[in-house]
Chains A and B, each alone.
Chain A
Amino acid sequence: MTELRIPASEAGLIERARRGDREAFYELLRPCERMVYATALSVLKNPADAEEVSQEAVLKAFTGLKSFRAEARFSTWLVQITYNEARMRLRKARPHLYESLDGHSEDGDGNISPRDFADWQPIPSELLEKEEIRQAVHDAINSLSPAYREVLVLRDLQHLSIKETMTILGISETSVKTRLHRARLQLRDALAPGLDGCWVRGEPYRKVRAW
């Protein structure tokens, strides 16, 4: 295993936070806030629940900092705690939904045939300035099964490495790659109706295709 290099500043802050220095802990936390919230939101899909779970996860991290062994980066460890908290919340609130989170049978070798949109026109990233476009992308992400969504959010939204994703979710490298692959292709399919040109004109999307 390659040695993990923790920046000296991070190590110093962790040491201070372990001794109960809340300012140091907050400083450690600042760069990870977005990550924590995105993680909670990707599981719970509800901003209010996501914020509450983020706060709980952060407090849990603060009190549990003594057990942090620096085998992972602080951010990886924190995201892992957030996942556990969010999943626990989901399990309590909606047990019927939680079952699908454990679905590991989706990693089989079945091939995916991407739909034939040979005339794919890119959705320009500038359109993300528009609320309805952001919403359409969020809806597409939320339409993925939890196992795929989790990997996509960690890898593509939060830009975490394959290794960090493996650590946080406790899955193999092959599972990370397979799930990410399927998530991306499904997302492409889900957003493809935008091909009708409405994205490009920047108007609210109007459904004109059968799918």
Chain B
Amino acid sequence: MAIIEISCVEVWREISNYLDGEISAELRERMAAHFKVCAHCTAVLEGTQNVVGLVGDGRLFQVPDGFSKRLYKKIFNR
């Protein structure tokens, strides 16, 4: 069955849900077909995926040294 085309604007609106798997199989298929032929939307997808990966990377952010120890003291000394 032919895939119904989807516009760039519609793709942008759903890019985040696409990454999270929060869309129907039918829409996923239409978007995947669009990415194959649209360099701009693919760049938006890859860029978004990239920043999501950076934000979720454990190295981005550390609790300060001694944080846990100070918390422990706080609980026991109150």
**Which A residues are within 8 Å of any B CB, using their own CB?**
22, 25-26, 29-30, 33-34, 37-38, 47, 51, 54-55, 58-59, 62, 111-114, 116-120, 122-123, 125, 128-129, 134, 137-138, 140-141, 152, 156-157, 159, 162, 177, 180-181, 184-185, 187-188, 191-192
User: How far apart are B39's CB and chain A's nearest CB, in angstroms?
Assistant: 5
- CB-CB under 8 A from A122, the residues of chain B are 46-47, 50
- CB-CB under 8 A from A33, the residues of chain B are 63, 67-68, 71
B54 touches A123 (CB 8 A): yes
Tell me whether A51 and B70 are in contact in the complex, defined as CB-CB below 8 angstroms, given that A125-B54, A157-B56 are known contacts: yes
B40 touches A128 (CB 8 A): no
Partner of B71, one of A29, A134, A180: A29
Interface centre among A111, A114, A116, A157 (most CB of B within 10 A): A114
- Determine the distance from Cα of A162 to Cα of B53 in the docked complex, in whole angstroms: 17
Tell me whether A159 and B16 are in contact in the complex, defined as CB-CB below 8 angstroms, given that A34-B63, A120-B43, A188-B47 are known contacts: no
Q: Is B51 an interface residue (CB 8 A)?
A: yes
CB closest residue in chain A, given B11: A114
- CB-CB under 8 A from B3, the residues of chain A are none
Partner of A55, one of B9, B51, B74, B76: B74
Using an 8 Å CB-CB cutoff, how does the interface string of B8-52 with A read, 1 for contact, 0 for none?
010011011101101000000000000000011001101110111
